Chains A and B, each alone.
Chain A
Amino acid sequence: MDDTALDALERTGVTIREAGPDDDAAGIRPGRVALPESTGEVAALMRVSAEHDLAVVPVGGGTKLHWGRPPERCDLLIDTCCLSEVVEHAAGDLVVRVQAGVTMEALARMLAAKGQELALDVPFDGATVGGTLATATAGPRRLRYGTARDLLIGITVVLADGTIARSGGKVVKNVAGYDLGKLFTGSYGTLGVITEATFRLHPLAANRRWVTFSLPGSPAGLRDLQTLAGALAAAQSEPSAIELDWPDVQGPLTVSALVEGTACADRAAAVQELIGRDCAVSGEAPGWWGRPVGEEVLLELRVPPAAAGRSLLAVREAAGDGGVAVRGALGSGVFGISSRTRLDAFVPAVRQGLDGRLVVLSAAGEPVADPWGETGAIVLMRSVKERFDPDRRMCPGRFVGGI
């Protein structure tokens, strides 16, 4: 970074520091790290970046900075850690407005004290609100509550040129204008910086029960899995989540269904009856529940729920004995996969004939030909990127199709 750019950054008054090894974005050392404390400060940084052609990567907890492709360049890392204020918790309205750097854990603690929760089970320790939104991560209860995009009701973003824009608001029902929140959720920092978000909340469930059982990981076992998954997802006892844990695809698998509510003991019994085999019923989640299946190497498989058994069989076949593990939302058809096998053979093998998508989120430095894989509307996506970030300065190259 040249001195005039540095000067201009310093003049914003925002705390700027030199980058260290912990700041690397997928192996790329940023020129500088900025620690803004408000949306206005982010905007000031973005204006300077626009003037001096600085490439910018926003970061929250840094738990997923290695996801996607490495950015082509990174002059300025905008660390949102100091955007850490819960701006407003309107408990009576079940709505919370937070700055992007608030961690999901801190938020959950604060809400739990009032008997409420943001019904997103984020699997990564230290993840922030902004990072969770930017990567659209969600956990087991997506089956009942949806994902971040479904719970987000308002957003504030700063665009590449420093424009501050808001959409939505703080009411749960609102159709005024385009929903920029949806567009920014899962945009991997390529459209701008998310600085604030407003969510709809849910009351904490009075009670919870997990009904857990095991199956062999054989073709016959996967057929049973498919049948049971279908029955559970359609069950009128309304499980909030139906999760699979398959720590080694050559071994047995475990399924756990969660019911929540005042009458969850009755409902757990109904779930158990429906499963019709040995189950453990517990008020405690299994140890693996809601945890990422892997961090170093992590893939995401998305299939129609009824294609889960078939697709998982394909994963098992492609895995050989390469230490492949699968965990995820059986009821929704979204799974995390970790692998010790070489991805260059594994990924195409799973994608072959797949009714769905396989994305390589993190490959531990191993180069992968096409981490994002195919997508339907790439021309429109490029066009959106072009409008929001014509100079390609926001996380350039990180996202689908080299966006």
Chain B
Amino acid sequence: MTTLQELADRLRREIGTAAVITDPVRLRTYECDGLTYHRATPGVVVLPETAEQVAAVVRACAEYGVPFVARGAGTGLSGGALPRTDGVLIVTSRMRRILEVDLPNRRAVVEPGVTNLAITEAVRDQGYYYAPDPSSQQVCSIGGNVAENSGGAHCLKYGFTVNHVEALEIVTPGGDIVTLDARDPGYDLLGAFVGSEGTLGVTTKITVRLTRAPETVTTLLAAFHGIEAGGVAVSEIIGAGILPAAIEMMDALAIEAAEAAVGCGYPEGAAAVLIVELDGPVAEVRHQFTEVTRICEQSGAFELRTADDPAERAAIWRGRKSAFAAVGRISPAYIVQDGVVPRTALPQVLAGIDRLSREHGIRVANVFHAGDGNLHPLVLFDDAEPGAGERAELVSGHILDLCIEHGGSITGEHGVGVDKSRYMTRMFSDDDLDTMQLVRCAFDPRGLSNPGKIFPTPRLCGEVPGVRKGVHPLVAAGEAEHF
């Protein structure tokens, strides 16, 4: 019997037959996340219902020296939940209880499989919501959000997942159940864990902060003849001391796609649209609205639309929210990028992307969180055309280089996963990465928790830094991939 078979038998005994999947057909359901061009059939899939069961699984993996990967809803866009053929995939889909809503303390305690939106839905009637709002919020899990430190359109004002988590219960890679609480004295391990992409253990319980609904929300759509003018407006708004809840931008190609997909009815002839959402106390928003309107007009907006009720607001957002899926209408295949640049570098970087696009004959649609400089270039190609995929990859990589050159980042919210680990060395030195590895080794000395993600060539824990020679031992052992 192979190690995995033995392990599966043990898991059946420990957490029940129904919670352990080894049937090849069913296993294949889990072979990829939202980044579908990386695929691997997991060795074993488990569907635990409690933290104790997760701990039992992890302990068994540790005993057998088998790697494990946690998976929430599988919407990740960097291959973070890509399974291991030689490992166990721990799926949290049966851990979907909201354990406690505590409005006096403005917090809720939930299991990792609860969807992002479900939290808001549980408290909306009482005038609260959960602020981080990834576009995938209807399906993505809060455990996945914690692992990716997910953002959303409204994180410009409200911050990311890490700013809204007060405590976590985790199962360490050694199989212990530990609480990381912001109120505890000591190192901010909570802060270090959020965004660690499942490489430091499995989250089994999350205490999230709830935010009071704003008194009012106003949404503005401004149409421009050129993307530069839109960029100027963004800088001016921020420069005027206004912090909108969201500032989103779409370029002509993205608008075209959204128009084709959902008929969002954005102003005709718009080469760029800006969506600005203001929220807060009525008196404050009224004032900011006047300012933003003035700035947009001065920057050359040729049409402005305003939404004050949910239906009108949804109409404005429809185009933006559909943009990812919509490019499917104008291109057979596409790559979603996730670079970040300092806001003031936006015009230069957008011009650079345009240049790359023309040089390589690859169309790029730009949809982005303009307020915080987080670009989501959609690199379009025809996968039936020989070499097109490679050219798209190349453009996509050059876009990241452009972001790094301007002092930015290779990922603003989608994570590194397997997709971008090879770019980490362009952003960080070996010393930086080795130092991050110290954190990894503190939590997971044997490297069993989601190995092969984030870091390009992890050192073995305890290995002395120096020049890397030959095949890395982790690679030789099949526990890491070289890029």
Chain A residues at the B interface, C-beta cutoff of 8 Å: 90, 92-95, 115, 136, 146, 149-150, 157, 159, 163-167, 169-180, 182-183, 185-187, 191, 202-204, 206, 230, 233-238, 261-263, 266-267, 270, 302-307, 356-357, 359, 372-381, 383-384, 386-388, 399-401, 403
Contacts and interface: CB of A to CB of B under 8 A. Distances in A.
A357 B196 CA distance: 27
Interface stretch (B2-10, B81-89, B91-99, B403-411): B403-411
Interface in B139-159: 148-149, 151, 155, 159
A165 to B, nearest CB: 4
Contact of B243 (A95, A203, A359, A372): A203
A380 B189 contact: yes
B443 A165 contact: no
A25 B162 CA distance: 34
Contact of B281 (A177, A234, A237): A237
Given A183-B439, A238-B280, A384-B442, A175 B411 contact: yes
A267 B284 contact: yes
Contacts of B287: 262-263
Contacts of B440: 178
B179 to A, nearest CB: 4
B478 interface: no
Contacts, number: 249
B235 interface: yes
A180 B432 CA distance: 9
B244 interface: no
A263 B411 contact: no
B436 interface: yes
B79 interface: no
Contacts of A307: 105
Nearest to B373: A171
Interface stretch (B34-42, B219-227, B258-266, B340-348): B340-348
Given A383-B443, A386-B442, A182 B188 contact: yes
Contact of A261 (B284, B340, B342): B284
22 contacts: A92-B238, A164-B431, A165-B435, A171-B340, A171-B408, A174-B340, A175-B149, A175-B415, A179-B162, A182-B190, A187-B188, A203-B242, A263-B281, A266-B281, A359-B185, A372-B186, A373-B185, A375-B185, A376-B181, A384-B442, A387-B439, A387-B441
B340 A173 contact: yes
B409 A236 contact: no
Interface in B331-359: 340-344
Closest 10 CB pairs of A and B: A182-B191, A203-B241, A263-B283, A306-B104, A165-B435, A236-B215, A266-B283, A92-B344, A174-B409, A387-B438
A341 B226 CA distance: 68
A90 B344 contact: yes
Interface string B420-444: 1000100111011111101111110
B412 A149 contact: no
B353 to A, nearest CB: 17
B431 A176 contact: no
A173 B214 CA distance: 23
Nearest to B342: A93
Contacts of B435: 157, 159, 163, 165, 167, 180
A234 B240 CA distance: 28
A94 B243 CA distance: 11
A331 B435 CA distance: 36
B187 A384 contact: yes
B184 A376 contact: yes
Contacts of B162: 150, 179, 182
Contact of B411 (A174, A202, A233, A303): A174
Interface in B201-231: 212-215
B178 A165 contact: no
Contacts of A149: 188, 191
A93 B172 contact: no
Given A171-B407, A173-B151, A180-B436, A187 B212 contact: no
A186 B180 contact: no
Q: Which of A175, A304, A356, A374 has the most CB of B within 10 A?
A: A175
Contacts of B186: 372, 375, 377-378, 381, 399-401, 403
Contacts of B155: 173
Contacts of A374: 184
Given A173-B155, A175-B413, A165 B185 contact: no
Interface in B457-473: 465
Contacts of A159: 435
A326 B454 CA distance: 45
Given A165-B435, A270-B281, A375-B185, 18 more contacts: A94-B238, A150-B163, A165-B429, A167-B436, A169-B409, A169-B427, A171-B342, A173-B374, A174-B412, A175-B148, A176-B409, A176-B410, A177-B428, A206-B241, A303-B183, A377-B178, A400-B185, A401-B186
B239 A92 contact: yes
A262 B372 contact: no
B176 A93 contact: no
A178 B187 CA distance: 14
A132 B40 CA distance: 46
B42 to A, nearest CB: 25
A183 B410 contact: no
Contact of B409 (A146, A171, A302): A171
Contacts of A177: 416, 424, 427-428, 432-433, 436, 454
A165 B432 contact: yes
A173 B160 contact: yes
B71 interface: no
Contacts of A183: 187-189, 191-192, 439
A305 B166 CA distance: 12
Nearest to B407: A170
Nearest to B462: A387
B431 A175 contact: no
Contacts of A388: 438
Nearest to B415: A175
B106 interface: yes
B321 interface: no
Contact of B192 (A172, A182, A400): A182
Contacts of A399: 186
Contacts of A92: 235, 238-239, 342-344
A150 B159 CA distance: 8
Nearest to A170: B407
A396 B409 CA distance: 35
A355 B211 CA distance: 22
Given A263-B287, A375-B186, A400-B186, A179 B281 contact: no
B113 interface: no
A191 B442 CA distance: 13
A230 to B, nearest CB: 6
Contacts of A377: 178-180, 184, 186, 189
A357 B184 contact: yes
A203 B157 CA distance: 12
Contacts of B409: 169, 171, 173-176
Contact of B442 (A164, A179, A186, A383): A383
B39 to A, nearest CB: 23
B426 to A, nearest CB: 10
B320 interface: no
B231 to A, nearest CB: 11
Nearest to B150: A175
B12 interface: no
Contacts of A170: 342, 407
Nearest to B190: A182
Q: Which of A169, A204, A267, A357 has the most CB of B within 10 A?
A: A169
Contacts of A90: 342, 344
A380 B442 contact: yes
